[in-house]
């Protein structure tokens, strides 16, 4: 992988975040550090990961197995020999920064924006892995629908969804699974409880699989029993909002801000004005939330190779919440919706 962009404004680059470690080297062991310079790429790790690192880290890296104190001294020496040092300001703690740079008058460059830019464009291999991760959640969703019975709890359904993802090949979950029934679904990031399912409840399920280091993200909302007319109306508004954003992108629109505006306008012109309370979407990759951001304030331009969500919602306190989320990418100038599950209103 070409890491020259990280050395454009500094002589040494110190990489510490797990996501960047994995992206650059293929391994993200605890306490690891990557040190980049013009003539070498070094992966520093402690003895706990010695064997794993040697079999997992990309061949262009040399591996140094050091204690934490030895790693600190190694980095301090590299900083002393450099004119400018680059660090991930979004990751490095103030304590660690002080330890490495105490008494030094070296100029420091923030590498976090450059790393984010590198990671937001996925390679064909990365995209293939993400598509597989999303296919896992499609399958798990189908299984989840078969488990919707009166009396099941949010917590037990969450556990069943996570077991299903593992059975279909996931290495783990991409984030804390959300299962919310009825009025609990009005909280966009509801925490699962022992609330039991009853007739007339909506069921909001938001989950993702972690597969070979990459995440997927998926949300559907269904109705257990006959939905009310208010729920039907709200559901159609959310679906139309998502369709509007997708149509904007399919026609070549590439402003992340405009995609949000188009979707939000559908909700704001409906009886549910003010009930779409979060951004339209976010990038997905090694981390579940990464660049780009689709929001009213975003300055991002959506480009080939980006993978991101489109997830409008409507939340009515004390009654229900609805979110429909698709994972999409842009390939050769065209939008591709990665998930395959039905998005029309569904009643169990």
Quick one: average pLDDT of 187-202?
97
Instruction: Give the separation between CA 156 and CA 134, rounded to whole angstroms.
Output: 22
Task: Tell me if 284 is assigned to some domain.
Answer: yes
Same domain? 232 vs 85: no
Instruction: Give the separation between CA 293 and CA 120, rounded to whole angstroms.
Output: 10
Residue 53: Cβ within 10 Å count: 22
Is-cis flag, bond preceding 292, omega within 30?
yes
Task: Tell me if 343 is assigned to some domain.
Answer: no
Q: For 126-135, how does the pLDDT look when each residue is reduced to its tens digit (9 = 90+)? A: 999 999 999 9
Instruction: Give the separation between CA 253 and CA 261, rounded to whole angstroms.
Output: 12
Q: What is the pLDDT of residue 343?
A: 97
Q: For 123-164, how does the pLDDT look when each residue is reduced to its tens digit (9 = 90+)? A: 999 999 999 999 999 999 999 999 999 999 999 999 999 999
Beta strand pairing status for 326-331 and 334-337? antiparallel
Q: What is the pLDDT of residue 41?
A: 97
Give me Rg for the CA atoms of the chain. 23
Same domain? 250 vs 319: yes
Identify which of 115, 124, 114, 116 has the alpha carbon closest to the alpha carbon of residue 304: 124
Same domain? 95 vs 37: yes
CATH number of the domain to which 252 belongs: 3.90.230.10
Query: End-to-end alpha-carbon separation of the chain, Å?
Result: 48
Q: For 67-109, how does the pLDDT look when each residue is reduced to its tens digit (9 = 90+)? A: 999 999 999 999 999 999 999 999 999 999 999 998 888 899 9
Same domain? 286 vs 159: yes
Task: Tell me if 347 is assigned to some domain.
Answer: no
Q: What is the pLDDT of residue 54?
A: 87
SS3 136: helix
Is the predicted pLDDT of residue 29 greater than 90, yes or no?
A: no
- Contact indicator for 286, 211 with CB cutoff of 8 Å: no
102: containing domain? 4-119
Q: For 294-340, how does the pLDDT look when each residue is reduced to its tens digit (9 = 90+)? A: 999 999 999 999 999 999 999 999 999 999 999 999 999 999 999 99
Q: What is the pLDDT of residue 24?
A: 97
Same domain? 17 vs 95: yes
H-only helix segments in 3-123: 18-25, 50-56, 68-80, 94-101, 112-120
Task: Tell me if 18 is assigned to some domain.
Answer: yes
Quick one: average pLDDT of 38-43?
95
Q: What is the pLDDT of residue 105?
A: 84
Picking from 98, 119, 140, the residue at the C-terminal end of a domain is: 119
- Contact indicator for 165, 320 with CB cutoff of 8 Å: no
Q: What is the pLDDT of residue 207?
A: 98
* Mean per-residue pLDDT of the chain: 97
Task: Tell me if 348 is assigned to some domain.
Answer: no
Same domain? 155 vs 110: no
Same domain? 224 vs 302: yes
Same domain? 269 vs 327: yes
Q: For 232-291, how does the pLDDT look when each residue is reduced to its tens digit (9 = 90+)? A: 999 999 999 999 999 999 999 999 999 999 999 999 999 999 999 999 999 999 999 999
Picking from 91, 119, 147, the residue at the C-terminal end of a domain is: 119
- Contact indicator for 215, 174 with CB cutoff of 8 Å: yes
Q: What is the pLDDT of residue 348?
A: 93
**What is the four-CA torsion angle of 290, 292, 297, 301, rounded to 10 degrees?**
170
What is the pLDDT confidence band of residue 2, given thresholds at 50, 70 and 90?
confident
Is the predicted pLDDT of residue 219 greater than 80, yes or no?
A: yes
Same domain? 257 vs 131: yes
Quick one: average pLDDT of 175-194?
98
Quick one: average pLDDT of 203-210?
98
Q: How many domains does the chain have?
A: 2
Same domain? 295 vs 332: yes
Task: Tell me if 77 is assigned to some domain.
Answer: yes
Same domain? 234 vs 138: yes
CATH number of the domain to which 78 belongs: 3.40.350.10
Same domain? 61 vs 84: yes
Picking from 119, 144, 177, the residue at the C-terminal end of a domain is: 119
Is the predicted pLDDT of residue 1 greater than 80, yes or no?
A: no
């Amino acid at each position: 992988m070409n890491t020259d962009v990280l050395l454009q404004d500094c002589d040494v680059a110190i990489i510490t975040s797990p996501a960047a470690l994995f992206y650059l080297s293929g391994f993200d062991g605890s306490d690891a550090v990557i040190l980049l310079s013009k003539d070498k790429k070094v992966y520093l790790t402690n003895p706990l990961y010695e064997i794993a690192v040697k079999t997992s880290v990309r061949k262009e890296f040399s591996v140094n197995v050091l204690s934490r104190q030895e790693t600190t001294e190694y980095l301090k020496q590299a900083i002393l020999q450099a004119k400018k040092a680059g660090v991930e300001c979004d990751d490095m703690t103030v304590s660690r920064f002080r330890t490495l740079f105490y008494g030094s008058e070296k100029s420091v460059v923030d590498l976090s924006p450059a790393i984010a830019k590198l990671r937001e464009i996925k390679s064909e291999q990365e995209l293939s892995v993400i598509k597989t991760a999303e296919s896992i959640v499609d399958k798990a969703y189908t299984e989840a629908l078969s488990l919707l019975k009166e009396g099941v709890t949010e917590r037990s359904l969450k556990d069943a969804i996570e077991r299903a993802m593992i059975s279909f090949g996931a290495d783990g979950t991409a984030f804390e699974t959300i299962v919310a029934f009825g009025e609990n679904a009005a909280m966009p990031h509801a925490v699962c409880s022992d609330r039991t399912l009853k007739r007339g409840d909506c069921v909001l399920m938001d989950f993702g699989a972690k597969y070979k280091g990459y995440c997927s993200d998926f949300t559907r909302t269904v109705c257990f029993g006959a939905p009310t007319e208010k729920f039907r109306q709200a559901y159609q508004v959310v679906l139309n909002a998502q369709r509007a954003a997708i149509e904007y992108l399919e026609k070549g629109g590439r402003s992340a801000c405009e995609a949000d505006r188009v979707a939000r306008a559908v909700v704001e012109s409906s009886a549910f004005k003010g009930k779409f309370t979060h951004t339209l979407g976010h990038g997905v990759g090694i981390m579940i939330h990464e660049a780009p951001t689709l929001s009213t304030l975003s300055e991002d331009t959506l480009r080939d190779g980006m993978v991101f969500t489109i997830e409008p919602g409507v939340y009515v306190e004390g009654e229900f919440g609805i979110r429909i989320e698709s994972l999409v990418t842009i390939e050769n100038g065209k939008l591709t919706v990665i998930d395959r599950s039905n998005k029309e209103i569904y009643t169990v």
